[in-house]
Amino acid sequence: MIPGRFDYHQPESLAAAVTLLSELGDDARVIAGGHSLIPMMKLRLAMPEHLIDLKAIGDLKHITVADGVVSIGAMTTQAELIGSAALADAAPIVKETALQIADPQIRYQGTIGGNVANGDPGNDMPALMQCLDASFTLSGPNGQREVRAREFYEAAYFTTRDDLEILTRVTFAAHGGGYAYEKQKRKIGDYATAAAAVLLSKGADGACSSASIAMTNLADTPIYCEEASSAMIGAGIDATSIETAVKSCLECIEPVDDNRGPAEFKKHAAGMVLKRAIDSAWSRA
C-alpha cells in the first residue's frame, strides 16, 4: 500500500501554513497526526498533491486552563490529553473519552484537532465537544473565527470549515458535576457501535441543575440532544426520568446498517450506553 505522490511542506508558523494552503488550494491537505489521512492515502481514497504538516508549529500544541476556560491546541495528542493533570482537574471527561480512542500507539500520534476537524462520524471527540459546548478556532486567509461545535458538523466529512481554513484550537468551560463517556465497540481500536457523552450537575435541592447529552456514530454527524438535556433539568434523576431521557435521545439519532450491525441493534446499543452514561454521571454529580 503505497500512497500517491505528493510534495511535503513543514511550515514553522501558522501564518506560513495559512498562506501556503491559500496558494495551493484544493491540491493540498493539512496533516496533523495523520492516523485518518495516511490510511486514506494508502488506499488512494485521498491523493493530495501537497501535504502541509502542522507539526513544527509550536503554538498549536498546548493545554491551558485559565479563569475556568480550557484551551487546547489542535496538535495536542490524545496521549497528551490523557497525561495532563490540569485537564484531568478542569475537565475529567476529556481524559475518560481519550482513553477510549483507538490504541496506545495511535493515541501518541492522533490529535484533538484532527479528530474534531475530520468530520468522521466515528470519531469520539466531536460528540464530546458538543456535550461541552466547545468552540473551535479556525484560521484562514480572511482571519480568524470561532464556530461552536454544535454548529460545526454538516454531514459525514462535511463541516463548516472552509477548505482554506485550519482548525487551530478548541476551547470550552471547565465542567463541574458528574460526567461520563460510555462507548460500546467491537474491539480495542474500533470506532463506536454507539457512544454517549453526558454531563450532569446536582443542585442543593438534590435535583438535576444542568444536563448535556451528545452521541457518537449514530448519525452522519455527532448528535447533541437538546430536548433530552433540557428536560432533565429541575427534576430528580430516577429510573423513570432516565427512561424518558433515553427515549428522547433515541428519537434524535439515525443509525444505518453496516458491519457494526443493523440499525435496530445500534438503537439498542445506544439506549444501553446512554443509560450507563447517565447512571455514571449522576453517581459522580
Partner 1 sequence: MTKTSITLNVNGQTHETKAEPRELLIHVLREQLEITGPHIGCETSHCGACTVDIDGRSVKSCTLFAIQAQGSEITTIEGLGGPDKLHVLQEKFKEHHGLQCGFCTPGMITRAHRLLEENPDPTEQEVRFGLSGNLCRCTGYQNIVKAVMAAASELNQTEVA
Q: For binding to partner 1 (CB under 8 A), which residues are involved?
A: 1-8, 34-35, 38-39, 41-42, 51, 53, 55, 79, 102-106, 108-109, 188-189
C-beta closer to partner 1: residue 101 or 274: 101
- Cα dihedral sign for 113, 116, 119, 120? positive
Please name the helix (run of DSSP H) or strand (run of DSSP E) that holds residue 88, with its range, or none: helix 85-90
CA distance 284 to 141: 44
C-alpha cell of residue 80: 497528551
CA distance 168 to 145: 10
CB 202 to partner 1: min, Å: 31
C-beta closer to partner 1: residue 6 or 265: 6
CB 5 to partner 1: min, Å: 4
Identity at 239, one-letter amino acid code:
A
CB atoms within 10 A of CB 204: 6
C-beta closer to partner 1: residue 29 or 161: 29
Q: 50: which residues sit within 8 A by CB, 6+ positions away?
A: 6, 7, 8, 9, 24, 27, 28, 29
CB 90 to partner 1: min, Å: 23
CB 15 to partner 1: min, Å: 22
C-beta closer to partner 1: residue 35 or 175: 35
C-beta closer to partner 1: residue 50 or 148: 50
CB 86 to partner 1: min, Å: 19
